Every structure is written in structure tokens, then in C-alpha cells.
């Protein structure tokens, strides 16, 4: 289509309820089909790097919805653990996507 580079299809959206180590109860995860069999899972929140304070953009990739979500969550939790301050997590350790972007 003239003027359109790509159309991504949102194939699933999840509310993921987190444990008490997080300063918020839940986050949203969307799974986007970029090409058939090529799924990308993204969260509406990212952890800030403990040193630079910049957002760590973490995503999950797989061929199925379940595997893409699992890949994202494993990577997200590992990234959070790696960037957790000695004093514990606070809201300021995370960066939320805008409503327009998610």
C-alpha cells in the first residue's frame, strides 16, 4: 500500500500480576505479529538501568504467543533483578509507556 511501510497485528494482550517485590501490582503485555510465525511480546513498563537510569527495552521473541510471553517475562524479571537497588525497588526504578503508545 502506498505510504504504508508495515502493519503489525496485535494478537494478544495480557494483564500480568506481579509479586510483592514490585512496587506495583500488574503490568500489561502485548503480543504483536510482525510476520507470520514471528511474534514479539512487549510490556507497558520497563526497568531503569541502575547506573544510567535509562529505560532497558526488553522484549520477547518466539513463534507462539505463549512462548513470546514467557521469553519476555523471563528476560524482564532477570533485568529487574539485575537493576534492583540495595534499598529495594520503587516506582522511580521503572518507566511506563504512554497510553498512546500502548
pLDDT tens across 1-50, in order? 899 998 889 999 999 999 999 999 999 999 999 888 899 999 999 999 99
* Residue-level pLDDT at 102: 77
Mean pLDDT score of the chain: 95
The per-residue pLDDT for 99 is 84
Per-residue pLDDT, 32 = 98
CB under 8 A, 24+ apart: contacts of 17-23:
21/88, 21/89, 22/80, 22/89, 23/89, 23/90, 23/91, 23/93, 23/94
Between residues 101 and 95, the one the model is more confident about: 95
What gap in Å lies between CA 3 and CA 1, rounded to an integer? 6
Amino acid at each position: 500500500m502506498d505510504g504504508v511501510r508495515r502493519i503489525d497485528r496485535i494478537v494478544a494482550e495480557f494483564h500480568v500480576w506481579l509479586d510483592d517485590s514490585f512496587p506495583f501490582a500488574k503490568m500489561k503485555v502485548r503480543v504483536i505479529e510482525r510476520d507470520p510465525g514471528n511474534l514479539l511480546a512487549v510490556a507497558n513498563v520497563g526497568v531503569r538501568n541502575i547506573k544510567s537510569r535509562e529505560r532497558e527495552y526488553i522484549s520477547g521473541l518466539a513463534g507462539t504467543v505463549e512462548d513470546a510471553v514467557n521469553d519476555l517475562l523471563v528476560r524482564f524479571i532477570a533485568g529487574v533483578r539485575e537493576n534492583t537497588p540495595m534499598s529495594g525497588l520503587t516506582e522511580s526504578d521503572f518507566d511506563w509507556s504512554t497510553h498512546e503508545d500502548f
